Amino acid sequence: MPMLDIKNLTLEIDTPMGWVSALDKVSLSIDTSEIRALVGESGSGKSLIVKSIVGAIPERWRVTADRMNWKGNDLLGMSGNQRRAITRNEISVILQNASAALDPSATLREQIEESIPSYRLTKGWFWQRRQQRLDIAIQELHRVGIRDHNLCLSSYAHQLPEDICQKFSIAMALVSKPKLLIADNPTVGMETTTKVQILKLLTKLNKTQGLSVLFVSHDLLAIAAMANTMTVLYCGQTVESGSIEQVKRRPLHPYTKALLDSAPSFRRDLPPKSPLSCLDGTIPTLQHLPIGCRLGPRCPRAQRECVKMPATRHIHGHSYACHFPLHRDKP
Amino acid sequence: MNSLLTVSGLSYRKQKSGLFSNRELFRLSPLSFELKRGETMAIMGENGSGKSLLAKLLVGVLQPEAGSILLNGEPMCDSRQQRRFSAIRMIFQHSKDSLNPGLTLGGQLEEALILNTNMSATERKRQIENTLVKVGMLPEHQYFYRHMLSEGQHQRAAVARALILDPQVIVADEPFAALDPSVRSQTANLLMNLQQQLGLGFIFISHNLGIVRHISDRILVLEKGKVVESGKTEVIFNWPKSEYTKRTIQAHQELISGQ
Ligand SMILES: Nc1ncnc2c1ncn2[C@@H]1O[C@H](COP(=O)(O)OP(=O)(O)OP(=O)(O)O)[C@@H](O)[C@H]1O
Ligand code: SF4
Ligand SMILES: [Mg+2]
């Protein structure tokens, strides 16, 4: 049984032009010790999935799902308290835009110490605990590569550069020793060496402590290096999902192929300065969603049938939703 | 071939006044380089190594402590501010924030033309429409407000803002960082295309080594305000000299081969 199991999650939000489905029958699952990447264009709904999982969406929006289970328990059916207990003890989230997600009115020391769960404090007397809290905080900061822990802990978020805030958010998310870490674009704009350090840390926690990770990112290189499985989202619909090897070696959905082809580092045969391949146009706005397959207007393989939503098909644990997938001949 | 941009002995000292005045003053040590027409230079370096500062010096947002910047062999000094602003243009780090929410895109492009040229209203309109088409947008987009543009169109709008004054050099601070792969490729293609057509010099700051390797001719590496390495892209990728460059490129290779 997967730890997190989402089947046909639909999220409708109200806009001035009426209700639109920002997420349309999204399916996603994460097993124990699995690192799953969630990729997709800007505006495809990745952050909305993250927010739906942790229940951080406005009350008036409509969330429905055939299944949305955490360890077999229905997340949508449980009380707010139960849900908060899970997001406090078992699931940690790093939101996009790290510095803005931190509390501006408290020092980073207060914030990280507050996140330390009580079972990590083994010492008896309160002054010993005080010291132990600080020790744990410092140790976590060192792990994510923050060397100057004193400066960091005594500062407020706005006083520090964005890259330190990013690393700090990762440290804070790990301090409660979660079962699942959801990281929304945690390495965006990071230097390569720092990024590799963070990826290694997550991989190590995954190997040694069985940490599961939902890694939301645009960085295909980082994803390919770290994740086991990958789910591709386009315009609020899951278009393809499978193991990294499967998806990379043999993408079945035209969007996935376009996505993989666009990364110059994946293509060693590419002459310098040659045009990079990409789909024409941009992702439509929620107010102007095409009917049927939402990739339709930009898809090189689109046919008349594509105005009907393609069903999701499965082959060998690899799933895709397309009428004319790449392993069939061009229509 | 003559160089388009010649920078020699450019340096800067950051005056930190106020509460923390005794904490490190930032110093950019004298640096020199040349850029030819149609050439692309990437600036790499740690966060806080002075990359954005160098970009600001080049476009004239900040004044250097010493040194000179020659464009086509002519000095660009203070009395010619106007020419400098139109000849070297910048694409800022967060294109989304750099557009004014209360003005249409066309209004904003026109502002730059009113401030920097003597064009008539019809000439301005033509220039705006031509520039939008150059960056792959539609003339109608001049009537759009910021919130009506998608992420990719924002990036194009930022390029249009840089191009509207027919510059010879474009300087961009992390133009690719926030973009998703397909918009990233579109923007990179757009810039490479414009370079071929217009012979633009392009200087950009980036942590994305895949893109750096693909589109740059030369690289300049900064560390704590000093140039620690500079040269041809392929040479630096194959034979990095400084510790920082070695570490960064090794990390990048590790990512590629770790797949
Ligand atoms: N509060 C909101 N009100 C209305 N629409 C919203 C709201 N939040 C998000 N959206 C819309 O939902 C869609 C998905 O947004 P989301 O933030 O999930 O994108 P994303 O995949 O995380 O993109 P990025 O890669 O840029 O982070 C977008 O079209 C966005 O405009
Ligand atoms: S269903 Fe049609 S439009 Fe959609 S991805 Fe497949 S071929 Fe393209
Ligand atoms: Mg997001």
pLDDT tens, residue by residue, A315-330:
988 999 999 999 887 6
Residue A283: what pLDDT? 77
Structural domains of chain B, ranges and CATH numbers in brackets: 3-96+167-257 (3.40.50.300)
Chain A residues close to B150, C-beta within 8 Å:
42-43, 282-283, 285
Instruction: Kindly give the number of the ligand 1 atom that is closest to the alpha carbon of A43.
Output: 19
Distance from the first to the final alpha carbon of chain B: 42
Q: What is the pLDDT of residues A212-257, one digit of tens each?
A: 999 999 888 889 989 999 999 999 999 999 999 999 999 999 999 9
Of A94, A107, A210, the closest CA to residue A150 belongs to A107
Lowest mean pLDDT among A30-39, A78-87, A180-189, B69-78: B69-78
pLDDT at A74 over 90: yes
- Residue nearest ligand 1's atom 22 by CA: A47
Query: What torsion do the CA atoms of A162, A167, A168, A172 make, to the nearest 10 degrees?
Result: 140
Which bound ligand lies closest to the C-alpha atom of A239? 2
Distance from CA of B252 to the nearest CA of A (A): 6
The pLDDT tens digits for A24-38 are: 999 999 999 999 999
What's the maximum distance between 2 C-alpha atoms anywhere in chain B? 58
Q: Determine the pLDDT at residue A90.
A: 92
Instruction: Report d(CA B111, CA B108) in Å as an integer.
Output: 5
User: Which residues contact ligand 1 via a Cβ below 6 A?
Assistant: A 13, 15, 22, 40, 42-48, 96, 286; B 180
pLDDT score recorded for residue A314: 93
> How high is the pLDDT of residue B123?
94
Does B47 contact A264 at a Cβ distance shorter than 8 Å?
no
pLDDT of residue B174: 83
**pLDDT value at A272 more than 90:** no
Average pLDDT over residues A89-100: 84
How near does any CA of chain B get to the CA of A129, in Å?
Answer: 33
Spans of chain B, pLDDT less than 70: 1, 15-25, 77-85, 93-98, 150-152, 178, 258-259
* pLDDT for the residue A64: 94
Sheet strand arrangement including B40-45: B88-91, B169-173, B201-205, B40-45, B218-223, B226-232
pTM for the structure as a whole: 0.86
Instruction: Give contacts of B184 with chain A, Cβ < 8 Å.
Output: 218, 262
Give A132-163 pLDDT, tens digit per residue. 999 999 999 998 888 899 999 999 988 888 78
Pick B48's closest partner by Cβ from A161, A189, A225. Answer: A161
pLDDT confidence band for A286 (50 / 70 / 90): confident
**Exposure class string for B9-32: b at 16+ Cβ within 10 A, else e:** ebebeeeeeeeeeeeeeeebebbe
> Which pLDDT does position A133 carry in this prediction?
92
State if residue A138 touches ligand 2 by the CB under 6 angstroms criterion: no
Please give the pLDDT value at position A173: 92
Ligand 1: which atom is nearest the Cα of residue A233? 21
Q: What is the mean pLDDT of chain A?
A: 89
Best to test chain B binding among A151, A192, A295 (most B CBs inside 10 Å)? A192
Count CA within 13 A, CB hemisphere, residue B107. 10
Complex ipTM tops 0.90: no
Ligand nearest to the CA of A299: 2
Distance between CA atoms of B31 and B11, rounded to whole angstroms?
7
Residue-wise pLDDT tens digits, B105-159: 999 999 989 988 889 999 999 999 999 888 878 888 898 888 777 666 787 888 8
Residue-level pLDDT at A237: 93
DSSP state of A266: G
Residue A289 has pLDDT above 90, yes or no: no
The finding on whether A290 has its CB within 6 A of some atom of ligand 2 is: no
Query: Is B79 an 8 Å CB contact of chain A?
Result: no
Nearest partner of B208 among A268, A146, A203, A264, judged by Cα: A264
What pLDDT was estimated at residue A331? 59
- Give the B window 190-209 contacts with A, CB below 8 Å: 192-193, 207, 209
Of the candidates B180, B213, B258, the beta carbon closest to that of A225 is on: B258
pLDDT at B82: 58
What are the pLDDT digits (tens) for A105-119?
A: 999 999 999 889 888
Q: Specify whether the CB–CB gap between B9 and B68 falls below 8 A.
A: yes
Nearest chain B CA: its distance from A117 CA (Å):
33
